[in-house]
Every structure is written in structure tokens, then in C-alpha cells.
Structure 1
Amino acid sequence: MPPKRPGSKPRRRSTKTKRGQGKAPAALVFLAGAAVALLIMFFGYAFFYLPGQKTPPAKPQSASVQTPAQTPAQAPAKPAPEAGQAQAPASPQAPGQPPAQPAAEPQPAQLPAPSGPLLTIVIDDLGGSKEQAQELLDLGFPVTFSIMPNLAHTRDVDEMAAKAKQEVILHQPMEAKAQAAAPAGTLRPGMSPREVAGILSAHLAQVPHAAGVSNHQGSQATEDQALMAAVMAELKLRPALFFLDSRTSDKSVGWKEAARAGVPALSRAVFIDAERGQQAAMLALRQAEREAKSKGRAVAIGHPHPETIAALAGWAMRRDKGVTIVTLGAQLKGG
């Protein structure tokens, strides 16, 4: 290397590189920037766009999976039996067969088809007043006189109704639940068939025109199978008599025991004066008409309250003439 001359300026090294080397740093910067931009775009896409997308639909089920439409229909659940009531054992059932129906409880003999909607008005607790009886006779349509025994005018009211050709039945006292002391002549659970027969015979003698018997009160008595069987056995010995179940208890077995004994029977559908008042009685009579029209026949029971008799008088002028008012005996014959 030649010695530097005194006073001469030092040479600058050239910044130029070989061909193509001066562009290398710019290319790297460009590539790095592009890579960063791609990363930013990727993460932005993943963060803002992908969360809003819906999930892909589920794959269809394979043929081996049973769809709801293929599931056999289930039978409706049976109501739980009441406390103390035994549950009937289930009978074997072939696959695919409808569930076996429980055996129907015995019913009274099939009544003849009614000639049209039939309604019977029964007035209970008669025998204490001849004036009440006369007001009922003045209504001008059939009313069944349900007469209690051992009252001041039991025999008088029986005779009045019979002369006016109105139907009479014995309204036999029966023990009610929570009854402090049942009066003499009340039928009670635990009585022997002989006791039952003696009471019924004595009371029917007081109402000689009776065509049937109904229960006065009796929410305790009519639930007793043995007592009601004894009552029906006595009525069976008197073929001219039928039984009207006043239905003072939803658990009454009077209807069932009448069927077992072969005694003709009917059942109360509506209480006319369960709520006291003339307007309430009028509404109940309208309900009785609807029952008769929907089921062919109905029995409505009331009491000789002044407002009930007034409601019957008003109803008689505006009642549905498509419903025929008949006696209980006529209902049993179909009209």
C-alpha cells in the first residue's frame, strides 16, 4: 500500500456495493411489512368476523335413532287412588295393543231412551206445613213431593199430593257426617238388615202413596256399602218402589247398590237452592234445563223456602218449552 502523501486528504470509502447489494435492505423491509400486515389482517378477521358466524347445522340423525314421531303414544296417567283404596293389579298386555279398560262398575238397568229432554223438579223436606204444599200445587206443573216421616203434617201432605195427582216419595232420614245426634228413625251404618227393614216399613206406612224413596242428608250413610245394600234389599221386596240418590256425598254407593239389587234408580243433577235466594234458584233451574238438554234427562232438587217457590213460579212462565217437566216415574219409563 503506497504511503500517504503529506497534506493529502484521506479517501472516502465508497458506499456503493456490488450490483444488486444496495437494494437488499429495502426488499427485506418490504417483506417484513407485508408479513406484519398479513398478521394484522388475520387476527382482525379472527377477532371481529368469526364470532358472529352461525354454528354449522348438526348432522342428520342416523336411521337407527328413533324420532319423536316414531315414539309410541303413551297412555294417560291414571289418577292416584284415594287413601285406603286398593289399586288394581296391572294385567299383562301384548305389545302394540291398546291398554285394557277397567271393568265398569254396575249401573242401574238401562233406562229407555227419552222421547226428548226430560226434567223432574223434586221438593224435599215436606210434611211440616200444608200451606207450603198448597203453594207447590198451585205452580201448575208436575212437582215430586219428597215427604219426611214423623212431621206434623206428613200424612196430610201425602193425601194432598195424591188428590192433585202429584208424585210422592218418602224422604228417608240417613246419618250425616259430623252429626251430633241422629234422631230416632235415622238409618245409620252398623244397623242390621232387620233394623233397616223395620224403619223403612214404619215410615212408608206414613206415606202410603210413595212411589219411591230418597235420602235426607245421609253423607255418612250413603257411603256405607252394607247399609245401602240393606236398603236396596228392602226396596227390592217392594217392586213398585224406586230409589232417588240425592247425592249429598260424591262417594255415595247408593247408585251402585241399586244396580246390584236390580232396583230402578235415578240421581240428582242440580240442587236448586244450594245458595239461598230467588235469583240463585232461577240460575240453578236454567242449569237444570241445560243438563236435561245435554244428557236427555235431569233431576233438580229444592226445598220449600219462600224464595225457591217464588223462583219456580217465575221460571214456570219463562222456562224452556223444549224441556218436558215429568215425574221421576215418567223419567224411568223414558217420558
Structure 2
Amino acid sequence: MAEKRGTSSYPGSRVSGVNTDFTPDRAPLRSWLPGFVALAAIWGSSFLFIKVGVAELHPLHLTLYRVAAGAVTLLVVLALLRDRLPREPRIWAHLFVIAALGVAVPFTLFGYGEQRVESMLAGIWNATTPLVVLPMAVLVFRTERLTARRALGLALGFAGVLVVLGVWEGIGGAHFAGQLMCFGAAACYGVAIPYQRRFVAGSTHSGVSLSAAQLLVAMAQLAVVAPLVAGAPPAPTGLSPEVVASVLTLGALGTGLAFVINLRNIRLAGASTASTVTYLIPVFAVLVGAVVLDERVTWHQPVGALIVLLGVAVSQGARKGPLPTPPVEEGPLSTRREHVRSGTPSS
């Protein structure tokens, strides 16, 4: 059965006439590896920029600014591609839900979480997204089937979550609360991703179009909520250069340039290869946090992260489509589409 034209940068989508619906048999490594590593570095370092941003900004204000920067970036890309925003009210209604669960709430939760935990730990928690996607897809949206292999992968993954939390050391305190906030952000994606697959995946709009619309909706949501909760956002002129640079990098680089790089990686290397960037994101998050911020983690956190990634790999082992790519710091959900045979939706 033929794929429908896509909602994102996954195979089956078309953006400005570029067909990404093929997987090269032997793509030269040098043609896609630099972009692959660059994408992992961009998405993995996003947690560093959040940490820098929340040092001066309320998490809601940080999210508002970064989403606005991302929206402007994608609108420019949209204009260059001579594409347009969706016009159907039904699409905008679903994007309202996806923008809240896939952008506004999780981005803010990561900001709150990183006020309490290390940036590298937030990057580790981001990798748990696929473990939430699968049970939601099976139990709530009924778009997938639970096999023995997937159940084993889920069990391993959640065992890894407990190891990362270090539950044997006790529950409570600001650090534990911060970890729960980061996991809550990943859980939001776990709901938003299968929701998008259920209600928006059949759209004929390009990934750039849906992503730009999603960010515009999220920006409107945050523009209403942020002043009510955190007061008026500070003027950019009152922020330090480091924070301004972090906001612009999170928005423009993390959504605009990263989106273009992701499309190129899929076109050159194929969806399955390109989506394995999932496994490098927490690695870069840990490296950047350790080198730039001199952060330290306890032994059980990287060990738990490895168990989580093993669980993700096991649960995805029988599928031919791409592996799940945790979306939190990778721009809006619409930049990624599930491309599956009968496996877990990609995040």
C-alpha cells in the first residue's frame, strides 16, 4: 500500500518537491555522516542552552522566546520554499493539542526540571520518550500491537528509569522532583506523538508547513499563559549575551537548521539510518554538560541510561522503519513522522 504524502521529514513526505521516500542501498558514509553527527550535537547540546537560559529567565519566558525564534525561522524557510501554512480548521484544531503536548508543556517542564537537575540528566530523560509512546499507541490510540519483544523492551526501559532515578536512595527532594519534571516532559511527547499519528499523519501538508503552524500555535498559547503565571517577559536587552545566544540557538538552530539537516540525512542515508541519531543525543548531552558546565553524574545515571537505550533498541528490533527519535529538543513534532510497518511510532 502506498504511503500518503507526509506530515514531516520522514519518508513519504515531500517538501518543496523533494521526495524523501527512498532509502539508498549504499549511501557513501562521507555524504551523510557529518550531518548526522551535527544533528546529534545540535539536539544533544540543547539541554545546555536550556540550563543557561533558566539562570536568568523563568521557564515559561524561556519557552516563549525560543518558540518565537523557531517560528520565525521556519516561516522564513516556508517562504523560501514557496510553501504555505495549513488552511483547514480541522488541522489547526489538532495542532492546538499537539502544540500544547508536544511543545509548550514539555519545553516548559524541561526548563523547570533543569532548575533542579543537571543538563546532562535532562538529556538522559529525553531518551525515555519512546517508552511512553508505545503503551500510549497500544492502549489509548490503538495504532500498534504489543508483542512479546516490545513488552520485554518496555520492561528493560522502565527498569532503566528506576536505575536513573536511584530509587534505592529514597524519594523526595528538589533533585528528585526535577527528574520527575523531565520525565513528565518525555511523557508529554509520548502522548503527542501517537496523537499526531492518529489525527494528522494523513495530511498532505509538508513538514515545514505543519511545524511552522505548530510553533505559531504554541507561541500563542505561551503568550497567554506566561504573563498570567510568570508576569511580563523581560526585554531581550535586559538579558546577558549568553542567555540571548542560548534562546536564539534553541529556536533558530534547534528547529530551523536542524530540520533541514534531518531532511538531508533521511534523503542521503535513509530513514532507518538517520533515525539512529536517537542513541547519540544523550551522549552529546552528557559530554557537553560535563565539558562546558563541569557537571557530574553518579554512577547509576549513565548505567540507567544505557539500560533505557537497550530497552528502546529491543522494542524496536523487529521493525523496518526508523527508530524512535525523542523530540523534545529537536523542534516541533511535525518535523518527524512515524514510518512504520507495524512497529512503534517514531518520535
**TM-score in terms of structure 2 length:** 0.24
Give the structure with the larger strand fraction.
Answer: 1
Give the structure with the larger helix fraction.
Answer: 2
Greater Rg by CA: 1
**TM-score in terms of structure 1 length:** 0.25
